[in-house]
Amino acid sequence: MHDFVVSMMLLGALSSGGSLPFWAVSNSGGIMPCDDGALGVIQAYKPFDESKSFQWRAGTSLAASWSAEGIHPMVDELYAGARWKVLRADIGMRRRTPDFLGADPALGSLSVTEGHLVQGSNARTMPGVDLVLEPLAVPFTGKHLTISGHWGDYKTIDDRYVAGALVHRLRAYVKYDTHKHFYVQLGLDHYALWGGTTPDPKKSPMPITLENYFRICTGRSASASGSESDRMNVLGDHGGAEQLRLGWRADASEFTFQWEKPYSDKSGMRFNNIPDGVYTLSWSRKDKDAWITDALVEFHYTMWQSGTIHEQEKDEHGKQINWHENKTLNIFGLDNYFNNGEYKSGWTHFGRMIGAPTFLTGTSSSGITSIRNNRYKAVHLGVSGKLFRVAPYRLMLTFSDNYGTYSSPYIAPSSAKSGWNWWEPNKIDKGYKQFCAAFNGYVPLYLGCRSVLDVVYGLYADAGQALENNFGATLGVRFSIR
C-alpha cells in the first residue's frame, strides 16, 4: 500500500466534572484537551511502498484543541523517512507504532503501556532523528535468530525545569523464532536526558559537546566540570526498561506473554528490583471481523524499586564513600522510577508521562511537573472487536492502588527505610484506590471506494480517590480519502 492518505477529524468532549476522565485523555498523543472542549485534527501522509527496494515516506498531522483556556494549535507529527532493505532513517516528529492493537489500529492499543513501558503515545512528540535496524537474520542460524534496534536523538520542546534538555534513545532486541508456533524476544529500551539549561544559578548548564555525547552514549560519569551527582554516578538522567516477550501462534489466533521491567539505575538493570514490572497476557484472533477479536489482561507492580533503604553515599565528614571498598553499603534502594534530582521534570513532556500513563504526574508548589505516582499496583483488562461484525470498538477497564512515591506518599507514612521486603505482607503503605473505564469506537459510513466517513464516539468514567469521580463522553466525525 502506497496511497497518499488525507484525513480530518472533529471531536467534541464533555464531562460531569469539567475535566475529562483518565482514558479520554491518556495515550492520545498529548493533543486531547484535559478539560471539556473540542479537538480538530488534519492528517496527510504517504506510507512506504513495499514493492520497491528503496522506499520513502512522509507525513504531517496538525491539531488544535479548544477548552476554557483557549485554542491551542499543535504540530502532532511532521516527518520524513527512507528505507533500504533492513535499514531505515526517520527525521522529524512521529508517534511510535503501538503493539497489542485490537480490531482496528485507529482505536489504539489495548495495553496501558502500548507494549512499551518507556514510550508510548501518552505525551506530545519530540523532534529528532531515528536510525533503525529492522529485523536482520544472524548468519548460520537458519533465519531463526534476528537482531533489531533503534538509535535516536531528540530535543524536548516544552516548558520544563531544565529547558531544552536533549534525549538519547537506544533500543535493542534479539528474537528467536521457530517460524512455526513459538518465538521468544529479549529487549532493552534505554533513554538518557542530558544537556539543557538549569534555572539554578549555582549549577552551570551541561555543555552539549561531542565529549559529553560520547559519555551519554557509553553511560560514563561526568568530567571534572560536571555536577557532583553526575561525577558520582553517570552523566545525565538514565532510565529505561528490560523486556521479555513469548509468543505462540495457533491456526486461528496468537497468544503473547510479556514482562517489561523498569529501571532507573544499575541496581534495576541488575534485577535488584524484581518483581517490579508490567506483566501482559494477550490473545488475538486472525479474524478481525468477529464480535470479540482481541483480549488482554495486564498486572502492574512497581512497589519494590530495589528496596526501602538507600544509605548515604558520604560519611559524616562529607567524604565520598567508595562502594567497591565497602560492600556492606546499600545504595540500591528507593529507585524513584522516571524521576531525577537534577532533571526535576523527570520523564515527562508537556506535563504528561512519556510512557505508561498510570505513572501519574503532578505539579509542585514551585510549578515543577514530575512523576507524582510511581509506586502502584494495577490490574487492567482490554477487549476489542466489531459490533455486528461492522463497527470496531475497544473496552478498557483499569483498577489500581496508588501510593505516590517513597519520599512523597499519598498517605503517610511511607515504607521507605522500614526494611520491608516485597515477599512479606506490606502493613505500612496505604494507597488511593482508583477505577478507570472506557468504551470507544466508531461507526463506518462508506461513501465510496476511496473515501470513508466515520462517526467516532467514546464513553469514559473515573471512580476512586486518586482522580476525581467523573463521567465523560466524546462524539465526532472523521473523513478519510485516498
Q: Evaluate whether residue 204 is within a structural domain.
A: no
Q: Evaluate whether residue 215 is within a structural domain.
A: no
Query: How many whole angstroms separate alpha carbon 249 and alpha carbon 252?
Result: 8
pLDDT along the chain (482 residues), means of 10: 84 94 96 95 94 94 93 96 96 95 94 95 96 95 95 96 94 95 96 89 76 84 53 76 96 96 80 93 95 98 90 53 50 86 93 96 90 97 96 97 96 92 93 98 86 94 96 96 87
pLDDT for res 35: 94
pLDDT for res 235: 80
Alpha carbon distances (Å) from 478 to 12, 42, 94, 105, 336: 12, 10, 21, 15, 41
Q: Evaluate whether residue 231 is within a structural domain.
A: no
Query: How many whole angstroms separate alpha carbon 239 and alpha carbon 221?
Result: 15
pLDDT for res 190: 95
CB-based contacts of 280: which residues, under 8 Å, 6+ apart? 100, 111, 113, 115, 256, 257, 258, 259, 260, 296, 297, 298
> Amino acid letter at 479?
F
pLDDT for res 435: 98
pLDDT for res 321: 52
User: Cell 508521562, residue?
Assistant: 353
Q: Evaluate whether residue 206 is within a structural domain.
A: no
Q: Evaluate whether residue 26 is within a structural domain.
A: yes
- Backbone angles phi and psi of 306, in degrees to 5: 70, 5
Query: How many whole angstroms separate alpha carbon 184 and alpha carbon 144?
Result: 11
Indicate whether this model's pTM tops 0.95. no
Query: How many whole angstroms separate alpha carbon 54 and alpha carbon 50?
Result: 9
Query: How many whole angstroms separate alpha carbon 221 and alpha carbon 407?
Result: 26
User: What is the dihedral sign for C-alpha 347, 351, 356, 362?
Assistant: positive
pLDDT for res 323: 46
pLDDT for res 112: 97
Alpha carbon distances (Å) from 379 to 200, 221, 245, 309, 402: 40, 38, 19, 27, 12
How many domains is the chain built from? 1
Range of the domain at 13: 5-195+236-481
Q: Evaluate whether residue 159 is within a structural domain.
A: yes
CB-based contacts of 316: which residues, under 8 Å, 6+ apart? none
What's the gap between Cα 375 and its chain centre?
16
Q: Evaluate whether residue 211 is within a structural domain.
A: no
CB atoms under 10 Å from CB of 140, counted, come to 6
CB atoms under 10 Å from CB of 109, counted, come to 25
CB burial class (10 A; 0-12, 13-18, 19+) of residue 423? exposed
Q: Evaluate whether residue 304 is within a structural domain.
A: yes
CATH of the domain at 418: 2.40.160.10
Query: How many whole angstroms separate alpha carbon 69 and alpha carbon 383?
Result: 34
pLDDT for res 448: 75
